[in-house]
Amino acid sequence: MGIKLPDAFVERMSVMLGDEFEAFMRSYDEPRYYGLRINTLKVQALRFAGELSPFGRLQPVQWASDGFYYEEGERPGKHPYYHAGLYYIQEPSAMAPVELLDVQPGERVLDLCAAPGGKSTQIAAKLGGKGLLVSNDNSAERVKALVKNIELSGVRNAVVLNETPERLAPVFAGFFDKILIDAPCSGEGMFRKEEEMAKQWERHSVERCVIMQRDILGQAASMLKPGGRIVYSTCTFAPEENECMIAEFVAAFRDFRIVPAETQHGFDSGHPDWVAAVKAGAAEAGSEAAGADAAAAVRGTVRLWPHRLKGEGHFVAVLEHTGANGGAAAAAAGPREPALRA
């Protein structure tokens, strides 16, 4: 194997995957896949793929309406079409969260952890110039890349912010139709793409990320309209950051439910048994009805595995604000004044 994986990571994945573990490990000996997404604000996807592509015949990414694979040697980042904003270079699995967000023209959408802008530009294309996109990132340095990509893509209905979720929540209470959380995570799903991440990984990386993710989800909940949708995604395999995070959220925020996502294109369903295993390891009781129901519901989330499809590792959960128990989320996240009203 060319990539040196952390021993503790390998041990955990062996327990998690069982019979699939060997296939998972073999995927690290295989070349990764390369993707680009056509910017439909500037050109029709099928026209580009069929007539304009300078990269030969592009193969479609099954789960992304405007996504295509290209060969490693093509170097699309050096072509004038890239600098004209006709496409964005994006890892194929990373295209799935926005597809599941189901953005419609005219909606108000928040990309809460947006830099460097791949998913924001994908959302903007779905909006088609109608509605509002708020692209936020709390890193001043990373926001520079976000602004560049928004401008390059020709997006005209976006506002770029450099704020923490805590500062945004009081201003945008109940404001958005859709919210994307591409959460900061331990990045285990990107080890094949970026070997340096494997070298830097440690057990405590997961614990640190869980704290951030819990806060981000809670703040996002207060900014969503009843009937609205949050998509939470990571590029990691750790159950603590994925199924466990979502089970904990829907148990605490009773006005949210998991919208089951289809397990097509090689997607895997979420694993309730991993929630139970993590709780057992943490000596948590996990016997309350709400917690048990939430754990079972995570089967409706999806995982993308590198040994099952042409892409890297991802997790995606679709959450809907049902409007029931309406004050639960806001009360949990704290005071919400002043508010920006619809």
Cis ω for the linkage preceding 6 (within 30 of 0): no
Q: Calculate the CA dihedral of residues 213, 218, 219, 220 and round it to 10 degrees.
A: 80
111 belongs to an annotated ligand binding site: no
Chain position carrying tokens 């592009």:
58
Token pair, residue 265, equals 């294109």
Q: Are strands 67-70 and 34-38 parallel, antiparallel or unpaired?
A: antiparallel
334 belongs to an annotated ligand binding site: no
Active site residues: 235
19 belongs to an annotated ligand binding site: no
113 belongs to an annotated ligand binding site: yes
169 belongs to an annotated ligand binding site: no
Q: What is the Cα–Cα distance from 166 to 168, expressed in whole angstroms?
A: 6
313 belongs to an annotated ligand binding site: no
Contact 29, 2 (CB under 8 A): yes
Say which residues have a Cβ less than 8 Å from residue 102's Cβ, sequence separation at least 6: 178, 229
209 belongs to an annotated ligand binding site: no
Q: What is the Cα–Cα distance from 8 to 14, expressed in whole angstroms?
A: 10
Q: DSSP E strands: which ranges in the chain?
A: 34-38, 59-60, 67-70, 87-89, 108-111, 132-136, 158-161, 176-182, 224-234, 256-258, 268-269, 302-304, 314-321
* Torsion sign (Cα): 214, 270, 13, 235: negative
Token pair, residue 110, equals 């928040």
182 belongs to an annotated ligand binding site: yes
119 belongs to an annotated ligand binding site: yes
Distance of CA 175 to the CA centre of its chain: 21
Residues contributing to the annotated binding site for S-adenosyl-L-methionine: 113-119, 137, 182
Residues at the binding site are: 113-119, 137, 182
